[in-house]
Structure 1
Amino acid sequence: MILQSTRGTGGDFHLWRHEAADGQATVDWLRKQEWFPGAFATIGPSQFSYAQWSLGLDPPPEWRAAVMQVAVHDFYDGMYPDQHCAFNLELALIAGVTFFHQGAGTGRYLRALLRLVRHLKHAVRGVPLLDSYRRALGGRRQEFEEWITHPYQDDLFWAGADAGPAADRMTVPVSLVSGRHDLALDQTLRQYARLRRAGQEPTLMIGPWTHTSLFEQGRSEVFADALEHLRVHLRGEGERGTRIRVHVNDAWRELNAWPPPSTPIRYHLRPDGELGELGEPGDGSTSLGYDPADPTPAFAGRLQSRTAGARDNKTLEARADVRTFTTAPLTTAREIIGTPTAELYASGSTGHFDLFVRLCDVHPDGRPVNVCDGFTRLTPDHVDADRVTVPMGAAGHRFEPGHRIRLQVSGGAHPRFTRNYGTGEPLATATELVATRTTVHHDPDHPPAARGGTWRHRAGPPLGPAQAEVRQASTA
């Protein structure tokens, strides 16, 4: 086994510009070694997966298989995941500490992590961000400043940051492994679809993991998948079994397609916090405040911090700047496998406002546990009370009888997404904080809804994969 560190983690570092060339240089070095057998495979999570995608832009003929875990292929999308210039500040700070210090030795790396924890609140709450971050990262970092001062995808700074086109050129079998609360899940699924369009047959596993808990909680499944993939495609022994495995609640499902065929169901927002299936939407509107001086915090879901994953959202929902819409207790089980969408009609008092929307499973004891969520940033270009579509990320979940389905709406999730200053000032230099009043309209002329093309009615115990597809197709 050969482990190659990213260039510059102990010195002059750049997030993506050297990966493709360095990967090719390593392969060229391998070819010159007497012990090289003439074939190799690659494996690795996160940044190591980006290195694999970079190699795939010009696949070497000796390459036989790739195992990509919690795989990142587009660093712009990672830093600005909603495509509207809302920066993933938590990710940038934590990843920055890792990238900038992991090559400096264990002691210095741990001290850097402790410094980040100690100064994190000041870093994410201080203004301007161009100054406040420095205490958390131990001084000025040009790389971090470039990330926050280049918010637009078409900026030349981000040229080459997206290694996604490798999926069109890959010549080796790919294993993709992710988690329901992995911050790179959407990227993994986009590459899965792109590989399929290119004629490849990748395998896909989605477990109950976050980006950082993969090897702790999913050790047995993840290593078994990797060993099987390498045994089949590197050593030429046997065949791969299941192509798609998705963890739903407490059981693994084997699927023939992602997402599986299903019956769409719409839930409408109604007055007094009701979420109603079918029928007409309710009357009136719901308002919520958002104060950047006390921003709605990021909690649970696709984070890198200790609160990542599925959590009890009761404390978050007790805040005055969070609104919820909830169904009556379900009489039969209901599942969602795929990507649900929230369609809202919204307006903001300053013209600059955000919408964070989360789907929760409310247990009979009252615990609201997050399933998936989505975010979008609005500007004055958005027409007041016009429709806003917010994809809530991929999900695989079964709502049991007696549970309730809840849609949670708020004005942000800081610092997962940088707070909205309410002014439109540039992120790096903004200093003025203006509170916003956001209104979600749910009258007959503005029928907001939670919509999922992958919902399905289910009664009784989980069905096998073949039965499930028949059941979905036949459900009215």
Structure 2
Amino acid sequence: MKQHALRHFIVATLIATCTAAIGVRAQQGSLSAADKQRRWDTENELQSIAVVERKVMMPMPDGVRLATDIYRPKNATGKVPAIWVRTPYNFNFWDVHNGVPADMTAVLTAVKKGYAYVVQNERGHFFSEGNYDILGSKTDGYNTVDWLTRQPWSNGRIGTTGCSSTAEYQMGVAALGHPGYAAMNVQGFGAGVGRVGPYYEQGNWYRGGAVQMLFIAWLYGEQNQVRPMFPPGTPREDLIRASKSFDLAQHLPPVDWSKALWHLPVQDIIKHVDGPRGIFETAMPVETGGRMIQRAPNYPAWYRGGLYHDDMKLNVPGLWFMSWYDVSIGPNLALYNHVRRTASPEVASQQWAVIAPVAHCAYNRATADTIVGERSMGDARLDYNEIVYGFFDRFLKGERSTRLDSMPRVTYYTMGMNKWQTSDVWPPAGAQPATFYLSSAGKASSLAGDGALTAAAPDADRPDAFTYDPMNPVLSYGGNVCCTGTAVEAGAFDQRRMEAREDILVYTSEPFKEGTEVSGPITPTLYVSSDAKDTDFTVKVLDVYPDGRAFNLDESIQRMRYREGYDKPLAWMEAGKVFKVTLQPL
């Protein structure tokens, strides 16, 4: 059997173009008659088994009211636990475009399993009052948990679930320590992670000190400080009636972000597409997201909002869903391990992780032949719903869960082998560290060069050199990104077209003689010299097939000014000198 090889390639960049985003979700399309009928059937069944309370305006201590829908079992014999979902997105119960109820399948499932299901908009979004704060309000989360535990139908145990923006708030709220917060299921949660270990991504804003472009376009669609608002104290029945006529969803002019993100200077990109410019306006207070584009990765304002940082205690049982081709997989795994190290012994033992081979929030879209980008991952399906409800049954109802009892602490998918594996720790028990070296005869530029990746250190150093043009940067092609639309698609893609460039250094190992599993962090160290005062270096790791296809596994980037630490003085480069730089782990 022909074996694969491992390949690294390296490129220097001056401006960060790691990710680009569309940021505007497509308007909901027209439903077929059959789909409309299914919506009605689900709604009718829900009404028959649940107490339905929509547009409950939950009061916060500052007087702001948050729009909340509550669904709970109608014939419950006692008090019930609640599963709470908070989101900046449109969860209106009525599909205004199609004139039918929204899809209530997830709600119906929860109610059938004996849970109250609570959906709430963040402040400043849709029917919720107040102004939106991109950094989030941890106190809103704490106060919501407190309000829910005091309801006459509540058993006092609250769990949370959700992916992406419906996950990012959970860790920050958990760190506040409300005794009623009993379980959290976070999925694709990188936007809620500020600083953890060597990672200072500050909620996906940075990677290795370089700005990730995805947030710029995302904010074009989500930062909406100016919007229609109902008068304070509008009766709930009027809000319900109004929500059947309009849902306050914005329909922004389409933007081709694959072009818009080339605009310079970067701080004027949103202004250039006539979007809301709050985060870039110097007059906007930092407490509500202002001056974000001008911040450094360790700027104090990052620590004033709802992001979770590793100096916070987190003592809530957790079920963590991650994916190899999602943004922030490195920080997410680092946070999972951090909680297992720092939580109380009991809670540390109550943390489970699932690492899937899919893109952002695509867990339940895996099939018998899961394709991520251009690469087949095989049958990557997993019984996620059974796992989630087994987790909630234990920690919200106090019931035994056979599924959870039989589940090791880490369930991970090994690509190439295309199978699920388990371990009680990450990296997997038994994993052995290995070191590979970059070597060449001084001509490693492009795939046609002589770069080699070897297990033995080279006898002599031969430097490789290339010329980088900041106006012709090497763009990301696939990878662990999210929210990129057609600008940059997440996943594994054949990188040979990128490797043809002369401004990329390529180092390839000999074919492995037998199957070799690579599981765990990869930490690249480079020795570099540049005539630029500052630049970014990136490293990408590829799996090379016997037929020559080379699929990306992961990549890392480091802005050189921060190479000595984000809490250290800026370290500029000097021409003619060689500098050691260790990139954040892949």
Alpha-carbon distance change, 290 to 90 in structure 1, aligned in 2, over 3 angstroms: farther
Post-superposition CA distance 1:423-449 (Å, at most 9, x none): xxxxxxxxxxxxxxxxxxxxxxxxxxx
CA RMSD of aligned residues (A): 2.7
Residue 332 of structure 2 is aligned to residue 141 of structure 1: no
Q: Does 1:203 align with 2:203?
A: no
Query: 1:2 maps to which residue?
Result: 118
1:159-191 alpha-carbon deviations (Å, 9 max, x no partner) = 235323586241x31111100122132232222
Corresponding residue for 2:21? none
- What TM-score, normalized to structure 1? 0.74
Tell me, yes or no, if structure 1 residue 267 matches structure 2 residue 460: no
1:177-192 equivalences in 2 (<5 Å): 177-192=321-336
Residues 326-365 of structure 1 mapped to structure 2, 5 A cutoff = 326-365=508-547
The 2-side partners of 1:311 and 1:107 are apart by: 38
Q: 1:158 to 1:93 in 2, by over 3 A?
A: farther
1:91 and 2:269 matched: no
Structure 2 counterpart of 1:115? 254
The yes-or-no answer on 1:367 pairing with 2:483 is no
Superposition map of 1:39-438 within 5 A: 39-72=157-190, 73-75=192-194, 77-84=202-209, 86-98=210-222, 100=224, 109=250, 111-112=251-252, 115-116=254-255, 118=256, 120-136=257-273, 138-145=274-281, 146-156=291-301, 158-165=303-310, 168-170=313-315, 172-197=316-341, 198=343, 199=345, 200-201=348-349, 202-217=351-366, 220-239=382-401, 240=404, 241-242=406-407, 243-249=409-415, 250-260=418-428, 261-271=430-440, 272-304=450-482, 305=484, 306=486, 307-379=489-561, 381-382=572-573, 384-393=577-586
Distance 1:310 1:83, change over 3 A: closer
Distance in 1 (alpha carbons) for counterparts of 2:227 and 2:541 = 40
Deviations 1:370-424 (A, max 9, x none): 111111011363463222112342xxxxxxxxxxxxxxxxxxxxxxxxxxxxxxx
Once residues 144 and 13 of structure 1 are traced to their aligned partners in structure 2, the CA distance between those partners, rounded to angstroms, is 15
Question: Partner residue of 1:399?
Answer: none
1:256, CA displacement in angstroms? 2.1
Q: What is the alpha-carbon distance in structure 2 between the residues aligned to residue 164 and residue 155 of structure 1?
A: 12
Deviates more, 1:23-32 or 1:370-379: 23-32
Change in Cα spacing, 1:107 to 1:316, as seen in structure 2 (3 Å) is: farther
Give unmatched runs, 5+ long, in structure 1: 394-476
Work out the CA distance in 2 between the residues paired with 1:315 and 1:129. Answer: 27
Kept after mapping to 2: 8 A contact 1:339/1:391:
no
> 194-203 vs 55-64, which deviates more?
55-64
Amino acid corresponding to residue 119 of structure 2 in structure 1: L
Of residues 310-319 and 279-288 in structure 1, the stretch that sits farther from structure 2 once superposed is 279-288
Deviation (angstroms), 1:22: 0.9
- Opposite residue 378 of structure 1, the aligned amino acid is M
Aligned-partner residue type, residue 410 of structure 2: I
SS in 2 for 1:329: coil
Q: Structure 1: how far apart are the matches of 2:456 and 2:302?
A: 47
Task: Give the Å deviation of 1:279.
Answer: 4.2
Q: 1:102 to 1:44 in 2, by over 3 A?
A: farther
- Relative to structure 1, is the Cα distance of residues 159 and 219 closer, same or farther in structure 2, using a 3 angstrom cutoff? farther
The 8 Å contact of residues 9 and 99 in structure 1, kept in 2 or not, is answered as: no
* Secondary structure of 1:94 counterpart: helix
How far apart, CA to CA, are the structure 2 residues paired with 1:212 and 1:338? Answer: 22
User: Is the 1:14–1:143 contact (alpha carbons within 8 Å) kept by the matching residues of 2?
Assistant: no
Residues 74, 161 of structure 1: 8 Å contact kept: no
Instruction: Provide the aligned length of Structure 1 versus Structure 2.
Output: 385
1:283-321 per-residue CA deviation (whole Å, 9 max, x = no partner) reads 311112222212111111111225211111122222232
Q: Structure 1 pair 320/97, CA: closer, same or farther in 2 (3 Å)?
A: farther
Q: Secondary structure at the match of 1:67?
A: strand
Task: Say which is worse superposed, 290-299 or 95-104, in terms of deviation.
Answer: 95-104
Distance in 2 between residues matched to 1:57 and 1:156, nearest whole Å: 18
Instruction: Give the AA of the match of 1:77.
Output: Q
Structure 2 segments unaligned to the other structure (5+ residues): 1-116, 195-200, 229-245, 282-290, 367-379, 441-449, 562-570
Q: Which amino acid aligns with 2:269?
A: S
Q: Percent identity?
A: 24
When structure 1 is superposed on structure 2, of 348-357 and 191-200 the one drifting more is 191-200
Q: Is the 8 A contact 2:543 2:551 kept in 1?
A: yes
Write the deviation string for residues 346-378 of structure 1: whole angstroms up to 9, x where unpaired: 111112111110110110111110111111011
- Structure 2 vs 1, CA of residues 195 and 283 (structure 1 numbering), >3 Å: closer, same or farther? closer
- Cα offsets for 1:30-59 (capped at 9, x unmatched): 234332232221111222222221221222
- The verdict on how the C-alpha distance between 1:183 and 1:102 changes in structure 2, with shifts beyond 3 A counting, is farther
3-state SS of 1:54 partner: helix
Separation (CA, whole Å) in 1 of partners of 2:249 and 2:458: 60
Question: Which residue in 2 is equivalent to 1:466?
Answer: none
Q: Is the 8 A contact 1:77 1:83 kept in 2?
A: no
SS of structure 2 residue aligned to 1:364: coil
Shift of 1:263: 2.3
> Aligned-pair distance for 1:121?
3.7
* Structure 1 residue aligned with 2:17: none
1:333 partner letter: G
Alignment-derived partner of residue 16 in structure 1? 135
- Given that 1:92 and 1:144 are in contact with CA atoms closer than 8 Å, whether structure 2 keeps it comes out as no
Amino acid at match of 1:64: A
- AA partner of residue 310 (structure 1): A
Where 1:14 maps in the other structure, the secondary structure is: coil
Q: Evaluate the alpha carbon distance shift between residue 333 and residue 152 of structure 1 in structure 2; reply closer, same or farther with a 3 A threshold.
A: closer
1:212-251 Cα distance to aligned partner (Å, 9 max, x none): 4334237754323212211222222224222210100210
- The letter of the residue matching 1:43 is T
Note closer, same or farther for the CA distance 1:69–1:235 as it changes in structure 2 (3 Å cut).
same
TM-score normalised over the length of structure 2? 0.61
Cα pair 2:208 2:556 within 8 Å, conserved? no
State the 1:122 CA deviation. Answer: 4.0
CA distance in 2, matches of 1:56, 1:98: 24
Task: Report the AA paired with residue 276 of structure 1.
Answer: T
Query: Which moves more between the two structures, 305-314 or 157-166?
Result: 157-166
Structure number having the greater strand percentage: 1
> 1:247 corresponds to which letter in structure 2?
Y
